[in-house]
């Protein structure tokens, strides 16, 4: 097996496990506590209020739960992962440059896995213990994403970047599997085993990662000579073999960089809104049991991954023709995962109580977010492969802030009174926040290699205007 192929699978599995830990609480909380309206369990579709232990509807089950948390406490539990998740995004990129992505990505994930095993004990001890554990998970886990960008920049030829970055959407498969898998566990074993099972799976991944991953192709003991030459020759003019000083002033005054950050905010808000709030919304709307909620919360992430693969191949093919600039193709993908997704997210909540429409728009909204791999997730590496991990550090900080504040914004609208109108206001605001950065990128964004990527003139092998032979003007 080619070394880059095995690396793709391990990165893919790593992100799957990362998101398995990140969102296991989102489905477990359905069984841990019940969302209420003015102190009573409610079903928004049908205008019914449930005070008994079980209702007459076959798929609507309201159980006595272990914890009685109000909306504010639920928001704290769900959002706490992101409170400090931003703090180590930039240091994570810098540490990856110093110690290698293998160590940073691997060990930060391992910490999250071990903490997952402690969650049930801490939750039963005190809600504050659970929140502190989630904060620590998010804090240490913040190093994961930016560190992998460093790995990508040193392993992947520019014209294959979009395809390789689909490995990042192992996160989608992780979510697609975790929601129904954990729903199954909830129904049969209880919420505690959600944390135990996902933690053990993550530790098993770490063992494989530590044994088979290397920071650069040159360090890999089993890579073929042909593959090594292909990779290193394609990166010679773009990625430096020595550590360069970070051009902080150039980075912080770069307009394309700031526009790219706004895109990360947009996609971050969309992802966290759908991923964190969907299980609660479905149980409030239709009263489904955890297993059914898990299935319908997870399925869209599977279609998201499939769409990302198809679009990434199409985008790389367009770039290979030499007829489209890198910025042009990135704008296609970015428009899909911002403007189009914003419209679909708003459509979810304005579909009322129509089960088919709600789940159809949910499926489409998450599916089109798959355009992120060939759009926003590729832009930082496009702008500067040499400093991709540093740029992704800034990007990560921006992208996780929505996950931190989104639950509290929703709590403000609902205020312990979960009505359809309150949720409509929240989703309408979300649509605006998601669409505006996408429109900005369409008009003034860029994904071309920046002059400050290298202290000497560099060839941009992806530029259709140089055809790989001319020099980028400084």
On the question of pLDDT at 271 being above 60, the answer is: yes
List, for residues 423-435, the tens digit of each pLDDT value. 889 999 999 999 9
Between 396 and 265, the higher pLDDT residue:
265
Q: Could you give the percent of the chain with pLDDT greater than 90?
A: 27
The domain over range 248-451 is classified in CATH as 1.20.1250.20? yes
What is the spatial distance between Cα 296 and Cα 370, in angstroms, rounded to a whole number?
17
Other C-beta atoms lying within 10 Å of the C-beta of residue 361: 21
Q: Could you tell me the pTM of the whole model?
A: 0.69
Instruction: Using alpha carbons, select from 296, 358, 357, 285 the residue that is nearest to residue 45.
Output: 285
On the question of pLDDT at 56 being above 50, the answer is: no
Q: What is the pLDDT of residue 258?
A: 94
Q: What is the pLDDT of residue 346?
A: 92
Instruction: Label residue 198 by pLDDT band (50, 70, 90).
Output: very high
What is the spatial distance between Cα 288 and Cα 298, in angstroms, rounded to a whole number?
14
CB 372 within 8 A of CB 362: no
- Across-strand partners of 42? 49
Q: What is the pLDDT of residue 215?
A: 83
List, for residues 328-343, the tens digit of each pLDDT value. 999 999 999 999 999 9
pLDDT mean across residues, the chain: 81
Question: Which superfamily, per CATH, for 1-36+67-237?
Answer: MFS general substrate transporter like domains (1.20.1250.20)
CB 348 within 8 A of CB 296: no
List, for residues 212-240, the tens digit of each pLDDT value. 988 888 888 888 888 788 777 776 665 55
What are the residue ranges of CATH 1.20.1250.20 in the chain? Answer: 1-36+67-237, 248-451
- Angle, CA of 368, 374 and 380, to the nearest 5°: 125
Q: What is the pLDDT of residue 49?
A: 42
Give the mean model confidence (pLDDT) for residues 163-167: 80
On the question of pLDDT at 113 being above 90, the answer is: yes
């Amino acid at each position: 097996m080619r070394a880059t192929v095995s690396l793709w699978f391990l990165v893919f599995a790593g992100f799957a496990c990362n998101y398995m830990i990140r969102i296991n609480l989102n489905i477990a909380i359905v069984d841990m506590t019940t969302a209420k309206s003015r102190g009573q369990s409610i079903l928004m579709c049908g205008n019914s209020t449930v005070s008994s232990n079980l209702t007459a509807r076959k798929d609507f089950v309201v159980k006595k739960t272990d914890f009685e948390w109000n909306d504010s406490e639920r928001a704290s539990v769900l959002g706490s992962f992101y409170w400090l998740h931003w703090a180590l995004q930039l240091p994570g990129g810098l540490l990856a440059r110093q110690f290698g992505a293998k160590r940073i990505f691997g060990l930060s994930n391992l910490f999250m896995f071990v903490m997952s095993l402690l969650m049930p004990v801490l939750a039963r001890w005190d809600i504050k213990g659970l929140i502190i554990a989630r904060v620590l998970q998010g804090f240490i886990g913040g190093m994961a994403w930016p560190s992998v960008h460093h790995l990508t920049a040193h392993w992947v030829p520019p014209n294959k970047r979009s395809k390789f970055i689909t490995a990042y959407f192992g996160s989608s498969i992780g979510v697609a599997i975790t929601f129904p898998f954990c729903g199954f566990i909830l129904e049969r074993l209880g919420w505690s085993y959600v944390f135990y099972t996902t933690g053990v799976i993550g530790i098993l991944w770490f063992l494989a990662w530590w044994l088979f991953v290397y920071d650069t192709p040159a360090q890999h003991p089993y890579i073929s000579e042909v593959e090594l030459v292909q990779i290193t020759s394609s990166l010679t003019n773009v990625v430096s073999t020595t550590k360069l000083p970070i051009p902080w002033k150039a980075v912080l005054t770069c307009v394309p960089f700031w526009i790219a950050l706004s895109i990360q905010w947009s996609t971050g808000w969309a992802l966290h809104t759908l991923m964190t709030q969907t299980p609660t919304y479905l149980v409030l709307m239709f009263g489904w049991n955890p297993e059914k909620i898990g299935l319908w919360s997870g399925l869209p992430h599977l279609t998201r991954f499939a769409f990302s693969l198809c679009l990434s191949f199409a985008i790389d093919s367009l770039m290979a023709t030499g007829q489209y600039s890198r910025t042009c193709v990135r704008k296609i993908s970015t428009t899909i995962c911002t403007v189009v997704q914003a419209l679909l997210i708003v459509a979810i909540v304005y579909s009322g109580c129509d089960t088919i429409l709600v789940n159809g728009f949910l499926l489409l909204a998450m599916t089109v977010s798959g355009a992120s791999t060939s759009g926003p997730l590729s832009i930082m590496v496009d702008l500067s492969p040499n400093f991709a991990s540093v740029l992704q550090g800034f990007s990560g900080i921006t992208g996780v802030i929505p996950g931190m504040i989104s639950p509290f914004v929703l709590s403000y609208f609902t205020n312990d009174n979960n009505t359809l109108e309150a949720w409509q206001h929240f989703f309408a605001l979300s649509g605006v926040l998601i669409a505006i950065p996408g429109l900005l990128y369409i008009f003034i964004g860029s994904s071309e290699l920046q002059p400050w990527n290298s202290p000497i003139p560099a060839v941009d092998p992806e530029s259709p205007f140089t055809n790989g032979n001319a020099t980028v003007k400084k």
